[in-house]
Amino acid sequence: MSQARIIDGKAIAISVRDEIATRAAALLKTSGVRPGLAVVLVGEDAASQVYVRNKEATAEACGFHSVKHTLTADTSEFDLLALVNSLNEDPEIHGILVQLPLPAHIEESKVLRLIRPEKDVDGFHPINVGLLTCGEMNTALVPCTPAGSIVLLKRTLDNALSGKSAVVIGRSNIVGKPMASLLLQESCTVTIAHSRTQDLPSVVRAADIVIAAVGRHEMVRGNWIKPGATVIDVGINRISAPERGEGKTRLVGDVAFQEAVGHAGAITPVPGGVGPMTIAMLMANTLTAARRQLGLTEDTALF
């Protein structure tokens, strides 16, 4: 059986990041402003610390003004809301990201709704969700993982998304729902599947494009994939890997990769697929947010 093309998310992310760095340098030259990104991390979660470090390093590589606020896990909701308020008012900050998940005693939606929509580079505020649903891409900020997945699809399919059948497995506010909105915007025929879907393998077998965002390692099997389909694996699951030594772990996606490469036409790996694109799109959103706050026209055009 033929082998799928492996979609090199890392290389595409680097090309996107280089383009953003060039545009940020031009912005600095013409207006004296650096896009400013604030990342807020509450608590000690090890995986979150890795992501936050990646975000900071990438922001610096793009020539951004980057600040990180690390708060202890016992920080009160009141204090976190006060920090968000101060970042909302800070003219040097154009993008605010509060890393999820937050500790249980903090109401996530309360925090996310306080972020000014113009600075909401995660695209999680209901105003941005609504703008995306209305197709107002020139005013919305779009969630980074779905946005990055669309860039990978467009590059893989040479922009030919229109009319294709797409299945999104997972209905989260962070990935599944905005992903479905974006695919619909690209004129795909979209199905949203989830844990209650009956006969999921048959639903997946009908799709030209499969987006796996369930958060369960290797749940999507190779023989579910329509021959030649494009598979975007959003899952990032850390599982134990005793074959690498005692206590070792490795990252795997929501798709059984070794099986799926024998069926798919193209597939993203984990790591090195959607993850690096998520961070690249965060930079794109921060540049877009800065330009809009300066009253400049949109120029990122990464879609």
Ligand X SMILES: Nc1nc(=O)c2c([nH]1)NC[C@@H]1CN(c3ccc(C(=O)N[C@@H](CCC(=O)O)C(=O)O)cc3)C=[N+]21
User: Is 43 one of the binding residues for ligand X (CB under 6 A)?
Assistant: no
Residue 39 interface partner, choices Mg ion, ligand X, none, CB cut-off 5-8 Å depending on type = none
DSSP 43: S
Three-state SS for 83? Answer: helix
Pick between residue 265 and residue 276 the one whose CB is nearest to ligand X.
Answer: 276
Question: Measured in whole angstroms, how far is the alpha carbon of residue 105 from the centre of its chain?
Answer: 26
Does the annotation place 106 within a ligand binding site?
no
Q: How far is the CB of 200 from Mg ion (least distance, A)?
A: 11
Q: Residue 75's beta-bridge partner residues? A: none
Decide the pairing of beta strands 209-212 and 5-6: unpaired
295 carries a ligand binding annotation: no
98 and 84 Cβ atoms separated by less than 8 Å: yes
Only segment of 18-26, 72-80, 91-99, 161-169 that touches ligand X (CB under 6 A): 91-99
User: Is 171 annotated in some ligand binding site?
Assistant: yes
The single residue among 195, 202, 240, 249 that binds Mg ion, judged by CB under 5 A, is: 195
Q: Which residues are catalytic?
A: 55, 99, 122
Q: Which of 204, 266, 279, 283 binds ligand X (CB under 6 A)?
A: 279
- With a CB cutoff of 8 Å and minimum separation 6, the contacts of 297 are 291
CA distances from 68 to 42, 96, 218, 278 (A): 11, 10, 33, 18
Report the alpha-carbon distance of residue 114 to residue 112 in Å, rounded: 5
> CB under 5 to 8 A by kind: which of Mg ion, ligand X, none does 58 bind?
none
Q: 241, 228, 94: which is closest to 164 by C-alpha?
A: 228
In contact, 282 and 264? CB cutoff 8 Å:
no
User: Taking the complex as a whole, how short is the minimal distance between the CB of residue 51 and ligand X, in angstroms?
Assistant: 5
Q: Are strands 237-240 and 249-252 parallel, antiparallel or unpaired?
A: antiparallel
Q: Which of 99, 268, 288, 293 binds ligand X (CB under 6 A)?
A: 99
- Residue placing its CB nearer to ligand X in the complex, 50 or 160: 50
- Distance in angstroms (rounded) separating the CA atoms of residues 121 and 144: 8
The interface with ligand X within residues 109-138 (CB under 6 A) comprises: 122
CB of 195 to Mg ion, least distance (A): 5
| Of positions 200, 236, 256, 267, contacts ligand X by CB under 6 A | 236
**In which order are the strands placed within the sheet that holds 36-42?**
65-71, 36-42, 95-98
162 annotated to bind ligand: no
Q: Please state the residue numbers annotated as binding site.
A: 170-172, 236
Q: Please state the residue numbers annotated as binding site for NADP(+).
A: 170-172, 236
Contact footprint for ligand X (CB under 6 A):
50-51, 54, 97-100, 122, 144, 236, 251, 270-272, 275-276, 278-279
